[in-house]
A and B are shown apart, each in its own frame.
Chain A
């Protein structure tokens, strides 16, 4: 029901929206909850377990009941709190957790069986038969319980992540937060003022109060305008600070466009901020505490402060006749506001013997002992000193006091402390370094006190920054928060709810104690109290009080469970913002990328690089046809391959040789300028890390080549060696991978192709095997290396990256003139397997030089990283799995990588495992299926026949063990 002349809503504009298919209207300034109440809708959802009818209970992010699905299709978001969702034109909301409909929910049958469904019910009941759990019990329970549904479609929303930095983060823009921001802003500090709501003000917007002699909301507007004029203050509305982390970092969730009907395409739905600050003020206010009285969960029963919010801020009343149940003076303020708004106050129920009087019935020494009304409150039953009374009311406002919102102060493990005077937990000072609590969050509830607290906290924060706090005369405001006591529980017939979101009652907590779960952490897990989206914001302290009572301990001695981030639910989408599609990982592109795509080459990822897999020729229908042709082309004529992706690290200085001796297992310092050497690097644990070649271009100038995938790892390793082991060595190095476009020219006609592009032709004699040197191509400086990864006569030619694409086109044109062309990763792999060359399939991190047959490369004359560990007996044991070649006995069945090796007559079981396959290929050169693998004592077993079984792919084939070099073991072709 809308109230005339009240609220911060724009009545000149009507916003149509729908709820469960019903077309309704609201106004700008409404939340979904206030708009529903204005339309007379009190039943907003069903409870988690018993499917009890529920209405809105609060007016903030702590709302446990009014959870909605917003939107439809792929954009639908479940579990949105109607109290937080701002209304916009066309908003589509659906209530959740019911079947078939909200008003006629058959699952409410659960409620009839409530006596059997208490905490621990699942654990005790669904024990047998054991196999029924997965097939029957769990699916049935999941259907009946749970909050909201998820769509299975990809999330089309645009999310965002961002970083912010400030001197002072003020969390919450109520009186304390505004005061703190104002003081810090005047002091010149960089301030971020973050607030959950769409506008700053906090409770100053919901109470009928005066600040500095004017209505509080007007003071808020003036203060906001003053802050907006300060360049050093940034106000972030709709931003919930969700976590406090190490190093002054806070997480915050900004709802950027959830309140807009028309969202521009590029505008993110929300943004997850990481705010780094030197100090912070916790001005998050307090959350009103419910009272656990029998049947306290009917629609129409809400917190007293929430009722004032609806009446004063949104100009809406949830009913016509209001009853109030409170143990403090706040309730009486509510009664006055309701009367002022023209509503009937049916009675104020106060357990105190002398509550304040008012122009309405006041019941002293009274308690609510029962309520009536299935889909909404109709009647409140009161037991007072004068006896039992029934009050007709459709709204019951409840206040059991206030709990400071101290959650963020616990995020680094600090527990709050119990303040006996206000009977509440307050933040422990210093629990989060640099975080100063102020105002209601610190247990100070009156407005004048909050303003003063904000000023004090800002002063403390400024002291951390080394800034003097400016003079600021506090505005005058109400300094009396009223007196009050705490009432945790009203005993009586019927269930009294503690955790509305999880359907946990006082009986469940007592039951937990009876079952022996009397510690606070045990009770939480046994009853599920405080779990789920609201994280116990409404229920935690009440549950502790019941637990304390049941165990005979004090609340302080009972303690509390810890609050963890996030303070409010965060969409997973915003945490993964930017990581979809192209944002998943950087794409590194080679100089020949566009040309390879133009030839129809499918790309394969190698590290972050995209490399061509094969180059389909006209008429070829499978990758194997292309691959086989490319292999034959390289063996018979010439092939070109872009190898720019290999890591290139340029080293300079007089001590490079010494440095490389230490990094590589084999010696390098005696390598002559103009020569290239193959080397292996070990990790400190003696296993092989990477292999590659290093060329000595001149006396003090070297170029190391790493594998594509391990380039970053090797670079980091070199940095570690230089900074930690050889800091005084005169050696400096940097990656030049991106500076050079490098192409392999391999095959018997390689020299012919090479000489067509070099400015001065060369010969195999002038550039012998494993030689390197400077050449010129098109007048530009280039580098030539006579190295081979295919076993053929081969060169690698490097030119500056900017002419790489041009040289690639030229090389292909020339190669095609000699019957050659480009080859891709598939052919490259077959070529190197035929030749027994290694990749990270073999150097997979668990193999040693001994396993790979490279033990002779481990220098005896010098020290090197991994030397000590590599000499451990276990790493040189003859029984270790050693690199071997394998040839299939069948021409039809290939050998598959990942398969395991067994003796020919053994069962293919784990206990009989003799080794495994790392790389496999059809060799067009040998016309056999071949593979590389590791076999126990394999070097001594050449010629032996084995059974190869790939359990995953269903391959079972006989093979023969051989030398891992299948082709040209003397190396005549490449030399």
Chain B
């Protein structure tokens, strides 16, 4: 039988600039879930039963021991981790996107300042708190940005992962270099 070797995007990514760190995230299974008109409640129940999570509202995410579900656009979300149950597939469109997305995590003091070089999102903790998600641009690369406890998770289309990495690294370098500017006497 044919043997195929898997190879993911951003494999081994682990960049450090100043106290910023950019690393690859292995998401596991990613399922795109979109309820049909009128089936939103049924979907939430099915999700609750299968993964102990409800369907997230705009800009929200949910987490349970089974996995996570991230709002990813109008009437759609990404289920990270579990295989969607048959009940979920009954009331929503479900597409396996495990290979479609590449994920990175940007952490460290100043992570928001680095992303502020690339995205117009308001990333202040008061406006983009832990668990919030937003579709936006990183430079010119479309992506999904999620706030977590010590930084951000960034999902981009697999084919543009290299460009996104390049853009983020550039921003990290800028922010790290600013740390080294001689401070003015107060």
Contacts and interface: CB of A to CB of B under 8 A. Distances in A.
Query: Does B bind A?
Result: yes
Interface in A791-823: 799-803, 805-807, 810
Interface in B6-51: 6-8, 17, 32, 34-37
A732 B92 contact: yes
Contacts of B158: 738-739, 801
Nearest to A733: B93
Interface in B137-165: 139-141, 157-160, 162-164
Contact of B174 (A198, A266, A732): A266
B2 interface: yes
Given A264-B177, A268-B174, A780-B4, A578 B160 contact: no
Contact of B119 (A163, A199, A737, A739): A163
Interface string A922-959: 00000000000000000000000000000000000000
14 contacts: A165-B122, A578-B139, A583-B139, A586-B163, A650-B95, A730-B36, A731-B36, A732-B93, A734-B76, A737-B157, A777-B2, A802-B8, A803-B5, A806-B7
Contact of B100 (A158, A266, A608, A739): A739
Given A163-B119, A264-B180, A802 B99 contact: yes
A810 B7 contact: no
Contacts, number: 162
Contact of A582 (B3, B75, B163): B163
Nearest to A803: B4
A757 interface: yes
Contacts of A723: 74
Nearest to B37: A728
Top 9 nearest A-B pairs by Cβ distance?
Answer: A732-B93, A652-B93, A739-B100, A803-B4, A801-B99, A778-B4, A266-B177, A732-B34, A267-B177
Contacts of B95: 650, 652, 734, 736, 739
A738 B158 CA distance: 6
B116 A162 contact: yes
Contacts of A267: 174, 177-178, 180-181
Q: DSSP class of A's interface residues: helix, strand, loop or mixed?
A: mixed
Interface of B: 1-8, 17, 32, 34-37, 74-76, 92-101, 113, 116-117, 119-124, 126-127, 139-141, 157-160, 162-164, 166-167, 170, 173-174, 176-178, 180-182, 184, 186
A805 B180 contact: no
Nearest to A801: B99
A163 B166 contact: no
Contacts of B116: 162-164
Given A224-B186, A266-B176, A806-B7, A800 B160 contact: no
A237 B178 CA distance: 13
Given A256-B178, A586-B141, A779-B1, A225 B186 contact: yes
Given A274-B120, A727-B37, A732-B76, A198 B184 contact: yes
A649 to B, nearest CB: 10
A491 interface: no
Nearest to B74: A723
Contacts of B176: 266
A580 to B, nearest CB: 11
B139 to A, nearest CB: 6
Given A199-B184, A805-B7, A589 B159 contact: yes
A738 B159 contact: yes
Contacts of A590: 159
Interface in A802-857: 802-803, 805-807, 810
Nearest to A198: B184
Nearest to B142: A586
A225 B139 CA distance: 35
Nearest to A723: B74
A163 B17 CA distance: 20
Nearest to A587: B163
A557 interface: no
A228 B186 contact: yes
A221 B186 CA distance: 7
Given A734-B34, A738-B100, A588 B160 contact: yes
A99 interface: no
A161 B76 contact: no
A740 B173 contact: no
A160 interface: yes
A596 to B, nearest CB: 14
B137 to A, nearest CB: 10
Contacts of A732: 34-36, 75-76, 92-93
Contact of B4 (A652, A730, A734, A777): A777
B184 A802 contact: no
Contact of A730 (B8, B37, B117): B37
Given A225-B186, A738-B158, A802 B124 contact: no
Interface string A262-281: 00111110000010100000
A583 B1 CA distance: 43
Contacts of A609: 159
A644 to B, nearest CB: 8
Given A586-B140, A586-B160, A588-B160, A739 B2 contact: no
Given A267-B181, A650-B95, A732-B35, 13 more contacts: A260-B182, A266-B177, A267-B174, A583-B139, A652-B93, A653-B36, A739-B98, A739-B100, A759-B2, A778-B1, A800-B98, A806-B6, A806-B7
B140 A585 contact: yes
